[in-house]
Structures are given as structure tokens and as C-alpha cells.
Structure 1
Amino acid sequence: MSPLLRLLALVAALAAGGCATLTPEQGAAASRVAEAARPVRVDCARDDACATPSALRALGEDALDGSAPGAPRHHALIIDYGQDALLARLSLVRSAQRALDVQTYIFDEDDAGHLFLDELLAAARRGVRVRLLVDQLSALREVQTLAALSGAHANFEMRIYNPLLGRARITYPQYVLAAACCWRRLNQRMHNKLLLVDGIAGITGGRNYQDSYFDWDPEYNFRDRDLFVAGPVVAEMAASFEEYWNARLTRTLPGLRDVGRLLLRNGVPPLPHEPFKLPARVERISRDADDPRLVDALAAQALPVGEVVFISDPPEKHRRDYGDVAPSTRGLRELIEGAREEVLLQTPYLVLSPAAQDLFRELRQRDDPPRVRVSTNSLAATDAFITYALSYKYKRRHLREFGFEIHEYKPFPQDAPIDVEATGTVDLEAAESTHGRRRARPLEREYSALRWSGFSAHERVPLLRGGVRFGMHAKSLVVDERVGVVGTHNFDPRGDNYNTESAVVIEDPSFAHALAASLRRDMAPANAWVIAPRDRPVVLSGLDYSLGKVSESLPVFDLWPNRYATSYEFRPGPGCLEPPPLHDPRFRGCHEPVGDFPEVRTGLRTLLTRIFTAFGVGLAPIL
């Protein structure tokens, strides 16, 4: 058989195997198998489902009791530390009396994922209705796990959003097939993240369910941010969850081809659960979540606020005929347009859509433009070097046209809300030496279009020194220290056009000030380098500038070697007690250039970064 015929045969086989779905009769039979296996017995006969009291849940009751029509009352808590984020989730799940709803993009089968899943199932067994909604591309890693969950308990149900080819999991060849037939749908992902308890309290923000979001990974962790909110707005968050739970792209587990066939063939399997890599760490956080002193101390940090606005894109954003600007994008733009003094913007990936570029360009052209400070990743810290390459390409535009003051996060921040000890690096190395190597993790990043490409576009660059690395993942906005926003939108084209997103907006000076302090800490010299124009060459500086500008304007072949800007490190000293801003005459006297890619070991990955700077502009809409 010729190579062409073999290729056609492979495509035909993929089309037949990948696109085949369960017949209605098979789907109904698989559902009956799962339903028959679900235990109905609950472990508690009390009306409160034997819930554990939690000061966090009590904030929800307090806010509802104190609210009146037209005068809502809320409590809001910024959660920066990964360990606090996990403790808060465990405490809330254990405090649930009636219902738990979880919506997320990534749900892994590592220690954090298994621990949280165990807690959800325990809640279901004591009488709480539990619903778990996960985007397909990141929904656990084993079909057997999903089949087991389909029959885990009568009070537990999991659904998958936008399953490509009608499957829970897809192989690389099937991914290629999906990319060939359905590229737009492949990229349309549910990026919303919610944890809702009894309709009175919830958490949203950047974190997924994976070790790296809770400082539990020995190699790389995300500096992230959640927002706990309690009060009437949780009803709006619950309504959004309900829309997605019943959306046309949402599927039940038995109705998926691979899960359904496994159920029909073998019945509901036992739930697989590998031993925790660090069981002592799991036991410690589990014990801490039951310690009222720790939970009370966390809840005591919540701020009383009035009105809270929840913005959420509808599932209809993924309809082909959806022509509106999505609510999350529109709401963020309107807030930035209203800035008068200062915009603090935090995004892991500084790639702006054309509309966002126009917005910041117009802000810059005002007679008295607001100061715009941006916190984002350096190449050394990012988990998406291609995305960084596009940000690197437009540094001139960001600095000159938009007036950005850019602070790029360091991979080893010195004063950050992170817990290096919690990563368990030493303990894990000892465990691996005894039990063997760790299994490879699946998705680690939020841009999954390149996940199966075979090209490691999402891997991190090698550094000059070892250690547990951290990268920025928080998505936040503060306008004039008057309005604060925490959400899921990366302020990028993907969030505008492909992903569904959500955000919580609070117009309250105290809250905005607290959120601004968190962002400013991430921008501090101990944690970030500042980006500024490099020193001009002694000769032909005008020619160098002009050629660099022309090269940058090219969609491809942006090959001019000298870039407009580079990274600077603050050096304290006499007259430099605090870092002066970029446009202060003292800036260069207090900062020294440290290169375009500080901390990065030069090699293939930095070369590829420059290549994507020159040729990768077409990837901007999906990155």
C-alpha cells in the first residue's frame, strides 16, 4: 500500500472511530448501569448533613441576614496563599449542608485533585448534593476514574463541557482529527471557576485543582489569587453555574463514548486512587481545615463590603452566531475606560486584542492620562514561552504607545505570598528515590490548543540555577484604588473570543486598596524586574531605532536583533531608597540592565522565543 493510501486509511479509521458516538439505546443503557450502581445510603440523618461549622460559611449567613432589598451586604476575602486557598476550600466543603457546585477548567489526579475529590464524595455520602462540571480537555486523566465517578453516589454527579468527538478523553491522532474538522470548537473552552456552598458563599479566581495551584508542586507553582465572597451575589454565581450545567455543550458521563462503552463492557469500576505522594502533607492540611482557630483567623481577614457584581459570559458565547462582545470583556473594558488616575493590571500573558490595544492607546492620548502599571510573567517565570515571545515582540508598543510600566515576575521571588516548604521538594525526592519516578502530569497550562502538538511549546525554559520555580497566574484589576476585580480573564484575545470567563467586581475603597497592595507587592523589586528602554547605541542610534520599529511592525520576518526594551534590576543605595518610576530622571541611576531574559539559560528555548517573536504573530488569537 502506498504512503498516500495508508494515510487515507488512517484518516478513515480515525473518522470512523473518533467520530462514532453511542447510539441512544447504548447511552440509555450506560446511564442505567451507572444509576443502578450508585449507592443511595447517606451517612448522616441530621438536617444539616452533619456539616462541620465553618467561620467562612458563617460569613454567608451573616451577610444574608444583614442584607435588605436595595442594600446588599457582603464579605470579601482575597486569598493569595496557596495553602490558605486549599484550607478555605476544605473548610467550605465540610461546612456544606445542602448543596455544593464546582466549576473548573483543570481537575487533575494528583494529591490536591484527589484530596478535593475525596472531600466532594464524602460530602455526597453525608447527604449533600454535589455537582462537578469540568472542561473536557482537562477533566481528570483516566477514563476509568470518570466511569467510576458516574456511579459513585446518588448525591454526586459530574458532567463534561464541550467534549470533542463525543469522548471524555482524546488521543493525539483524535486531537488532530478534531483540529482538522472543528478548529473553532476545539478552542472554545470553559475557563470559568466557581466553588459554591449552599447558595450563600463561594470562591472564584484563577486557581484550578492541581498541585501547582496550591504550592504543592516540587518544580513549578503558580502565584495565584482567589476571591472568597459571601452574600446575595452568590445567587447570581449559582445561576451562572446552572446555565453551564444545562448548556447544550455539556454532557453527562455515561453519554460519552469512551465512558459509556466502558460501563457497558465492565460495569462501574472501583474508583482508582493512587497513594498520595506526600500523605503527611495531605493529613496536615486536612487536620488544619478542621481547626477552628485557623479557619477563624482566615475568615477574620474578610472585608465587609456593600454591592458586589458578578460578571459571567454565557454558554451562548460558543454559538457560531454569537456576535456580541462578551460580558466579561465588555465589563473589564468599561472599568478601564473609566480610569482617571491609575490602572493596576495583572495578567500572566501580556498579549492584547486589537480592541484592547485601541483602548489603551486612547487612554494614553488623554490630556492627563492615568498611570498604567502591569504585572506579568518574565520568560524565566512563564509556563507559556510562545505567548511571552509575542509580548516580547511588542514591548516598544507597550511602553511608548500605551505608556505601560511593566513589571515581570521573577522565577524565585523573595517576598511573595508563597510557601516553598509546602512544595515538599525534599520529602518528595526521598519518596521518589524509594518508589520510583513520578508519573508525568497532563495539562499544566491554560492554553490547551497546543497541548497535543508534539512540540513542547508550553514547557518552561531552562534556568541558570535550580530550585522551586514560581510563575504568575493571577488575573486582577484595580482602577483608581476605587474598584477591584478578581476573575478568570487573562485580558487577552483568547479570553475575548474563545474562552468563557467570569469576574467579581467590587467598588469599595477598602477592598480596592487591599487588592492594590497585593498587586504592588508582586511588582516590588524583590519579586519582579521592570521593563524599560535599553540604552541607545553610541553610533547610528536613530537608524537602529527606525529599523527596529519597521521590523516590529512586520507580521513575519521581525528579525532585527536589537530590541527596544530590556529588563532592569533595582539597586538600592544613597538616593535610591525606593525604586523611582520609569519616567523619573533618577530611574537609570537606581536601576541597572540585566538583559532581555534574566535568569534564563541561553539555548534552544531562547532561540525559539526569538523565532516566535519573528514569525508567531498569527498565533495571537488562540494563545
Structure 2
Amino acid sequence: MIRLKLVLVIFSLFSSVAYGFGDYPYYDVHETAVDGKKNDLRMLHNGLASLALRIDMIRRAEKEIVMEYFIWERDLTGKILLLELMRKSRQMQKANKPFKVKIIVDKSITIFEVNEYYAEVLNKYGIEIAYHNRALDPLTAQFRDHRKLIAMDGVEAITGGRNIGDDYFDMDKEYNFLDRDVWVKGPMARTMRDSFMGYWNHKRMVKEATPFIVEEFSPLVRSQRRRNTLKLEIHERKRKEAREFFKVTEEVKLASPKIMKVGMEILKKFPVYNCPKMTFASDLPGSRGASLLFEDYDKYRLLRKVIFNKMYAVKKSLFIESPYWILNKPYGQTIKDLLANGKEVTALTNSLNSTDAYYVSALFYDQVFNYEKLGLRPFIYNADFLDNNPVAEKKVKDVRWGLHAKTQIYDDDSIMIGTYNIDNRSDHFNNEMAIFCDGSKEIVQDLRNNIKERMTQAYEITDDMQATDGKGNSVDVFGGAPKEAIKSMRNWKIPARLFEPLM
């Protein structure tokens, strides 16, 4: 943490001190045998099923839909979901029934797509959008809302690894993620919804439904007129583009029914379980550059406390699935302590060939061999399509696939599914959330079975620059990555080490 502060202090600008919160709604525990609160869960291992269930929730909603995402892409999936929200909102308006739709989107400059021009169109349908952290100083800009949530009427909710985009729902023609979500039904869904409202009402959210032009004033009248005319032309062009985006195309007409038919059929294969003890944990809104340096910054980082407590409490084994694997000092020491005490620690993450971030691979391969020598069992995904993962289009089977699920298993009766990666961003900067379920060996076994299927396409790292497949054959430690990818990763090695605290 000291190193992190030293690296980041040069970026810091003074700002107001954020205020604190109580535990609820960012931490809640329901134990049926103790408080009588019953929560069901369903693990969503397949992208189409997870997308179909989201659409189904929108269509069944009677009072409210709230959605919160780090990424909302302007592709087919992003468009279909927005059109479903618009259609539902208009239906409720015509029926004269009160209905609310609220969306939070993180305003990270590198990935932000659904801007104020799209919000302007959505607002005409009664849909409100808030943008998280449109920060100006470079340090505060690192603090992103990485939470992922849809909640219906405070009765059902989904969280997990999936953002909104074709690549998260097994529909992209170039690259797809093997991801995982968890659906929750019961009083914990209300807690999750209330945590959304805590973010929605926070002063860090910017609610703008109308884009505006900043006109220039200059003594050079002709120059000023030209610049303002150009700005107006760009402004109107962006407005037109936003309106065009929401037109129902033939692609949408063909895709939506197919998604629902195939996705809902797949969904039937995923059982609904009662969770004996369910915990919801989320980081608190409000952290910024100044809070890292001048406040009790740890008060915002609630989820990692819960995760570290769970890891240190394991009696026999810990399994971690994460798309990114960058062990900072606390995480690295935790893994070392568990291994030194005879605990089994297994990791499943991306190879260079399956990753979407070469700079992460540069750090992963820099660390992993040392931990393997200490007893860690690291497995890397090889980027191939998983045969038992049903898809709507055959074309996507031939593209590159990578892991994106954020999952942990503690011994034989406890799991975590959420948004938290094993890296410094999730540990220090990003707001994260997760569902924990304790006391069900049946749920753990179901999850293990799905992970076991994914690991049929994984290689185990067994020594320095060595790996084997499931049959014990020697394979490429980079997962079969092309030479260009290896070269790119090596070029990233020094920059990645320098900026590791930000990754």
C-alpha cells in the first residue's frame, strides 16, 4: 500500500472529503435457519441464457428496473436491451401504471459509449441515466464503477462478470468471454437494489439527459462564427446518430426471438437452489484520489475484507477463477500463507492466447512460476471454444475465447460469484460487488462441475515455462499464442512493471 501511495501521489489533486456509510445496503447476511429469510439462486454459466433471463426480467417487471454496468456497448446486445427497456416503459405509460427505469453507466474515457445523446432519446421514454465519475484529475479518474447489476422490482437480481456487449453473451464474431453470473430471488435482491440506489443518489453521479454545446466568444467574429457553426453541425450529427441507433432493424427482429428461444431453453438446464446462508457485499461509493491519500480509505473497500476473511478461513482448499491474475503484496502473502499451512490453492485464468489484455499477461507470466514452486496449481485457458457451451450462431465457435468469470470456492460448502478480479484495480480502485453462499455442498458441486468442464480446455503450468494438457502432454505455456502476441506481451513487460499499481 505504501508503494501504491508513492506511485500515485504525483497525480493527486486536493478535493472534498467523501462521507461515510453504514453497513446496509453494502453488506447484508441472510441465514434462513436464524432469521427465516429465504433466498434462491441460480448460476448462469451460459451467455445466451443470462441474456435471455435479463430480457425476461424486463418483460415481467411491474414497478421498476434498475441496471448498473461498467461497460455498455453500442452493439446488437446493447441495442436489444435498450429497446426492451424502451418498449416496457412505453407499455407501462400507456397502461397508466407507474414504472421506473434507472441506469448507471461508468464514464471511463477508454470504454464509454452510451453518452448524453443516447440518454436524451431514452429520457423521452422515461428512462433515466446516471454517469459515474466523470473525473478531471488523473488519480480520481482511476476510481471506476465496476459493479454489474440488474434488479427487477426489488425481488429478483443478477450480478456477476458480464457487462453489456455481444462478447459477454457468446455473440461476438471475433472474441467471446466464458463468464458467469448469479441470479438471486428473495429479500437479498432488495438489498442489491438498495445498494444501487445508494450509488444513484451519491454526489459522484452525473445525471444529464440533454447534451449541450459550449459556444466560444472571440474578438475574431468570423473565426468564432465558424467554430460555433462547426460545433452545431457535430452536435446535430451526433443527435441524428443516436436516433438512428434506436431504430428496430431486421437484425434486431431476427436476433431477439432467437435469443429468447435458445437462451430460455438453456436456462432450464441450470437448477434453482435455496442458499442456506447468503451474503451480499459491495464496496462503498465515494472513493477518490484524496480519499486514498488523506482519508481512512479502507472504509470504502468492504468487499476485499470479506474475501480475505473467507480465504484465511479455509480449512482444506481454495479455488479461484479470474480473467486477470496480478498478485499484489497482500494477496501474494495470503496465497503463500495458505500454501505454507498445507492448504490446496488452485487458480484458473487466461493464457496469453486467451486474454484480452497483453499487459496483464506480462505481469502474470512474471509471477506465476514462483508461486507454482511454492505449491500453487495454476491452470490457463487455451482460447478454444467449449463444446458444451451452447451458442445461437455456429460462427462464434471458430473465434477466440477467453475467461471472464470471477468466482471463488472455499472448501466444499462455500462460493463467491461477483465482479471482483485478482488485480490491483479490483483491490484498490474499482467498486465491486459479490454474492456469497454458504452451507450448500450441492451448489458447490454444481459449480465445480461447470469449472471442471472449462478446465478440459485448460493447461496446467508445471515448471518454469512449462505446461501440460489434461493428458499430461507437454504444451505451449502461452496457450498456443501467435508470435505477434508473444512479441506484444514482451514489449509490455517494462511498462507493465512500472504501472503495476494501476493494473
TM-score normalised over the length of structure 2: 0.81
- Do residues 385 (structure 1) and 358 (structure 2) align? yes
Partner of 1:454: none
Partner of 1:152: 124
For structure 1, the residue ranges without an aligned partner over 5 or more in a row are: 1-65, 166-181, 426-465, 534-563, 572-590
Partner of 1:301: 271
Amino acid at match of 1:73: K
Deviations 1:486-532 (A, max 9, x none): 000002111011100000000022222222222222223xx101101
Amino acid at match of 1:396: F
Partner of 2:17: none
Alignment CA distance shift 1:475-1:382 (3 Å): same
Deviations 1:164-221 (A, max 9, x none): 45xxxxxxxxxxxxxxxx2211211000011000111100000011000111101100
Shift of 1:340: 1.3
Q: Is the 8 A contact 1:222 1:471 kept in 2?
A: yes
Q: Is the 8 A contact 2:104 2:129 kept in 1?
A: yes
- Do residues 230 (structure 1) and 185 (structure 2) align? yes
CA distance, structure 2, for counterparts of residue 279 and residue 254 of structure 1: 28
**Which secondary structure state, in structure 1, belongs to the residue aligned with residue 431 of structure 2?**
coil
CA distance, structure 2, for counterparts of residue 363 and residue 77 of structure 1: 30
Alignment CA distance shift 1:323-1:497 (3 Å): same
Shift of 1:247: 1.3
Aligned pairs for 1:190-229 (under 5 A) are 190-229=145-184
**Which secondary structure state, in structure 1, belongs to the residue aligned with residue 488 of structure 2?**
helix
Partner of 1:523: 455
Aligned pairs for 1:399-478 (under 5 A) are 399-401=372-374, 403-419=375-391, 421-422=392-393, 424=395, 467-478=398-409
Amino acid at match of 1:304: N
**Which secondary structure state, in structure 2, belongs to the residue aligned with residue 272 of structure 1?**
helix
Partner of 1:110: 75
Alignment CA distance shift 1:276-1:384 (3 Å): farther
CA distance, structure 2, for counterparts of residue 114 and residue 395 of structure 1: 40
Partner of 2:367: 394
Q: Is the 8 A contact 1:215 1:423 kept in 2?
A: no
- Do residues 85 (structure 1) and 55 (structure 2) align? no
Q: Is the 8 A contact 2:192 2:280 kept in 1?
A: yes
Q: Is the 8 A contact 1:195 1:203 kept in 2?
A: yes
Shift of 1:307: 2.5
Q: Is the 8 A contact 1:143 1:259 kept in 2?
A: no
Q: Is the 8 A contact 1:375 1:522 kept in 2?
A: no
**Which secondary structure state, in structure 1, belongs to the residue aligned with residue 370 of structure 2?**
helix
Deviations 1:107-161 (A, max 9, x none): 1111000000011111211223111111012443555323322x3223x111111
Shift of 1:255: 7.0
Shift of 1:409: 0.6
Deviations 1:452-472 (A, max 9, x none): xxxxxxxxxxxxxx9311100
Shift of 1:384: 0.4
Partner of 1:173: none
Partner of 2:63: 98
Shift of 1:353: 1.7
Q: Is the 8 A contact 2:39 2:278 kept in 1?
A: yes
Alignment CA distance shift 1:282-1:254 (3 Å): closer
Shift of 1:67: 7.0
Amino acid at match of 1:499: N
Partner of 2:256: 282
Deviations 1:390-412 (A, max 9, x none): 000112222123x2111101111
- Do residues 504 (structure 1) and 435 (structure 2) align? yes
For structure 2, the residue ranges without an aligned partner over 5 or more in a row are: 1-30, 93-98, 216-230
Q: Is the 8 A contact 1:488 1:502 kept in 2?
A: yes
Shift of 1:259: 10
**Which secondary structure state, in structure 2, belongs to the residue aligned with residue 100 of structure 1?**
strand
Q: Is the 8 A contact 2:383 2:402 kept in 1?
A: yes
Q: What is the total number of aligned residue pairs between the two structures? A: 440
Alignment CA distance shift 1:532-1:142 (3 Å): same
Partner of 2:466: 566
Deviations 1:240-298 (A, max 9, x none): 101110111101124766699989x8698673326465752333224567x7xx49835
Amino acid at match of 1:228: W
Q: Is the 8 A contact 1:213 1:223 kept in 2?
A: yes
Alignment CA distance shift 1:612-1:595 (3 Å): same
Shift of 1:570: 3.1
Shift of 1:233: 0.8
Partner of 1:124: 89
CA distance, structure 2, for counterparts of residue 302 and residue 609 of structure 1: 42
Partner of 2:499: 619
Alignment CA distance shift 1:157-1:502 (3 Å): same
In our comparison, the structure showing a higher alpha carbon Rg is: 1
Amino acid at match of 1:500: N
Partner of 2:462: 532
Q: Is the 8 A contact 2:58 2:65 kept in 1?
A: yes
CA distance, structure 1, for counterparts of residue 134 and residue 197 of structure 2: 18
CA distance, structure 2, for counterparts of residue 239 and residue 351 of structure 1: 32
Percent same amino acid at aligned positions? 23
Amino acid at match of 2:478: F
Shift of 1:341: 1.0
- Do residues 610 (structure 1) and 490 (structure 2) align? yes
CA distance, structure 2, for counterparts of residue 284 and residue 418 of structure 1: 13
Amino acid at match of 1:506: C
- Do residues 358 (structure 1) and 333 (structure 2) align? yes
The structure 2 residue matched to 1:488, chosen from 392, 408, 419, is 419
**Which secondary structure state, in structure 2, belongs to the residue aligned with residue 108 of structure 1?**
coil
Deviations 1:576-607 (A, max 9, x none): xxxxxxxxxxxxxxx2322332422213x312
Q: Is the 8 A contact 2:116 2:210 kept in 1?
A: no
Alignment CA distance shift 1:597-1:333 (3 Å): same
CA distance, structure 2, for counterparts of residue 122 and residue 268 of structure 1: 20
Q: Is the 8 A contact 1:139 1:160 kept in 2?
A: no
Q: Is the 8 A contact 1:223 1:418 kept in 2?
A: no
Q: Is the 8 A contact 1:310 1:502 kept in 2?
A: yes
215-224 or 67-76, larger mean C-alpha shift = 67-76
**Which secondary structure state, in structure 2, belongs to the residue aligned with residue 616 of structure 1?**
helix
Amino acid at match of 1:501: E
**Which secondary structure state, in structure 1, belongs to the residue aligned with residue 125 of structure 2?**
coil
Aligned pairs for 1:254-265 (under 5 A) are 254=209
Aligned pairs for 1:239-254 (under 5 A) are 239-254=194-209
CA distance, structure 2, for counterparts of residue 95 and residue 206 of structure 1: 23
CA distance, structure 2, for counterparts of residue 123 and residue 322 of structure 1: 43
Alignment CA distance shift 1:259-1:213 (3 Å): farther
Alignment CA distance shift 1:109-1:423 (3 Å): farther
Q: Which has the higher contact order (CA 8 A, sep 6+)?
A: 2
CA distance, structure 1, for counterparts of residue 239 and residue 489 of structure 2: 47
Partner of 2:307: 332
Alignment CA distance shift 1:257-1:376 (3 Å): farther
**Which secondary structure state, in structure 1, belongs to the residue aligned with residue 118 of structure 2?**
helix
Deviations 1:545-565 (A, max 9, x none): xxxxxxxxxxxxxxxxxxx23
Q: Is the 8 A contact 1:344 1:477 kept in 2?
A: yes
**Which secondary structure state, in structure 2, belongs to the residue aligned with residue 349 of structure 1?**
coil
CA distance, structure 2, for counterparts of residue 197 and residue 113 of structure 1: 18
CA distance, structure 2, for counterparts of residue 209 and residue 164 of structure 1: 23
CA distance, structure 1, for counterparts of residue 239 and residue 168 of structure 2: 31
The structure 2 residue matched to 1:596, chosen from 477, 483, 487, is 477
Alignment CA distance shift 1:213-1:276 (3 Å): farther
Q: Is the 8 A contact 1:101 1:131 kept in 2?
A: yes
